[in-house]
């Protein structure tokens, strides 16, 4: 990291894997100076790695990296690289992240960080030992409407939060001819839709409302076989005719009953969360509904620049009003001049890059971090245990997350009282 005479800071960037997400990270770095010129942070795209020669060339010729390699270890050994984006497939995340930490490189990594709680915990341990900054690809939390919802919960506009509903419904594998990529192989991906989509939903709930304490879950695999997709070809959106059929090893659908912890901003609230990668109809319906004693709010990523808000009771016109994202919400004004001119998915990654590099530069730490990833992984792990044993399972707390904890002086007594009938979860199932 170099401090320049004009007061700006140059941070050397490395990229590991030049697929769609690697391209997106690179564009986010490039757009940082336009969205946040006053930060004085100048990402320098130094070194990219990808074993595919055409992608390595693309990193230099199109994305603007100064050099490229086939081996990610060369990026981590490069003294001009200060921070790396880890955008490789899930089964390589833990290996690369631990190596990055040991090399003293700050890293921004896509989720899930590991193929389960154990791998994620190993990454967290390595990052803590090295003292490096970490940031996680929980991009949906950066939507201005979500930031506004978090504030509505915190300032009491919705009253005491009683329950939450969330869904992550995608159709990328709705076609039974959808390719069996690495995402469907347990040794490569770990869990299926639990890690891929439910992890995002868990983060949204914990960021806006607070830590999840316990879960009861069920899962199902809708398509037991799919046509095989050779490694390194196509994407998980590919459809294959007359391919060799291979077994799907993880779940297509998952559902959870959840209870938030007593120190959550919405302590004691309960909820239902669902995730599916085979839904027919929803394209990317990633939604959160929050209900309180004084109002409720609904957000859906398919209309990410809107929030449906019902605030106050007893009004003759009571009902939902459409609130458009505007300059008062999150970082909206960095991208658009006024409500009605929409932000997009890529903009959320620019916000993510900004928060990551601010932390790398030693400024305010507003980024998600490895503790957030470990917390989400523990909830997912608890859901897997619950689905297998048809039981309620504790998620376990994690120190250092950015979850919405209760304000100082607030206790679980502010939450809804738990009756005798809800304290014993023995034998219950979702």
Q: What is the DSSP string of 12-49?
A: EEEEE--SHHHHHHHHHHHHHHHH-GGG-EEEEEEEEE
Mean pLDDT of 35-63: 97
- 409 pLDDT band, cuts 50/70/90, is low
Tokens, residue 303: 């209309």
Q: What number of H helices and E strands is found in the chain?
A: 12, 18
Mean pLDDT of 150-163: 97
Q: What is the pLDDT of residue 43?
A: 98
Mean pLDDT of 168-182: 93
| 425, pLDDT greater than 50 | no
- 382 pLDDT band, cuts 50/70/90, is very high
Long-range contacts of 234-241 (CB under 8 A, 24+ apart): 234/179, 234/181, 235/20, 235/181, 236/172, 236/173, 236/178, 236/179, 236/181, 236/183, 237/172, 237/178, 238/178, 238/179, 238/181, 239/175, 239/177, 239/178, 239/179, 240/177, 240/178, 240/179, 241/177
Looking at the DSSP assignment, which residues form a beta bridge with residue 288? 166, 299
Mean pLDDT of 309-313: 89
Q: What is the pLDDT of residue 410?
A: 56
Mean pLDDT of 373-389: 97
Name the more confident of 231 and 429.
231
Question: How far is residue 124 CA from its own chain's centroid?
Answer: 16
Q: What is the pLDDT of residue 360?
A: 98
* Separation between Cα atoms, residue 307 and residue 172, nearest integer Å: 25
Q: What is the pLDDT of residues 61-92, one digit of tens each?
A: 999 999 999 999 999 999 999 999 999 999 99
Instruction: Please classify residue 44 by burial: count the beta carbons closer than 10 Å to its beta carbon, then call 0-12 exposed, 13-18 middle and 19+ buried.
Output: middle
**pTM of the predicted structure, to 2 decimals:** 0.92
Tally of CB atoms within 10 A around 68: 22
């Amino acid at each position: 990291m170099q401090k320049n005479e004009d007061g700006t800071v140059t941070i050397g960037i490395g990229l590991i894997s030049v697929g769609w997400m690697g391209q997106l990270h690179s564009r986010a770095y490039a757009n940082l100076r336009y969205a946040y010129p006053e930060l004085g942070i100048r990402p320098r795209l130094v070194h990219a790695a990808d074993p595919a020669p055409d992608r390595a060339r693309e990193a230099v010729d199109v994305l603007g990296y100064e050099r490229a390699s086939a081996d990610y270890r060369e990026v981590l050994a490069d003294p001009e690289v200060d921070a790396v984006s880890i955008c490789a497939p899930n089964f390589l995340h833990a290996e690369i992240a631990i190596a990055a930490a040991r090399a003293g490189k700050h890293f921004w990594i896509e989720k899930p960080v590991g193929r389960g709680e154990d791998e994620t915990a190993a990454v967290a341990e390595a990052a803590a030992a090295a003292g490096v900054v970490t940031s996680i690809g929980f991009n949906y939390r950066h939507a201005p409407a979500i930031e506004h919802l978090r504030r509505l919960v915190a300032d009491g506009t919705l009253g005491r939060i009683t329950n939450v509903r969330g869904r992550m419904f995608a159709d990328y594998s709705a076609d039974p001819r959808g390719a069996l990529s690495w995402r469907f192989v347990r040794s490569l991906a770990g869990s299926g839709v639990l890690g891929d989509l439910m992890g995002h939903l868990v983060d949204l709930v914990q960021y806006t409302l607070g830590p999840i304490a316990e879960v009861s879950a069920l899962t199902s695999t809708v398509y037991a076989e799919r046509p095989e997709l050779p490694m390194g070809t196509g994407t998980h959106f590919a459809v294959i005719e007359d391919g060799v059929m291979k077994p799907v090893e993880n779940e297509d659908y998952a559902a959870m009953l959840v209870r938030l912890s007593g120190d959550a901003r919405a302590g004691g609230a309960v909820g239902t969360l669902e995730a599916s990668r085979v839904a027919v109809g929803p394209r990317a319906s990633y939604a959160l509904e929050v209900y309180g004693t004084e109002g409720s709010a609904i957000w859906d990523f398919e209309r990410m620049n809107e929030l449906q808000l019902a605030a106050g009771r007893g009004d003759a016109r009571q009902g939902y009003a459409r609130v458009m994202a505007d300059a008062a919400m999150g970082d909206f004004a960095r991208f658009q001049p006024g409500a009605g001119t929409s932000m997009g998915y890529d903009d959320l990654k620019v916000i993510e890059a900004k928060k990551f590099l601010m932390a790398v530069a030693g400024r305010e730490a507003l980024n998600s971090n490895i503790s957030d990833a470990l917390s989400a992984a523990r909830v997912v792990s608890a859901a897997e245990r619950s689905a297998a044993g048809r039981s309620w399972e504790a998620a376990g707390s994690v120190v250092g997350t950015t979850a919405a904890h209760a304000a100082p002086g607030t206790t679980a007594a502010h939450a809804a009282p738990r009756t005798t009938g809800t304290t014993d979860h023995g034998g219950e199932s979702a």
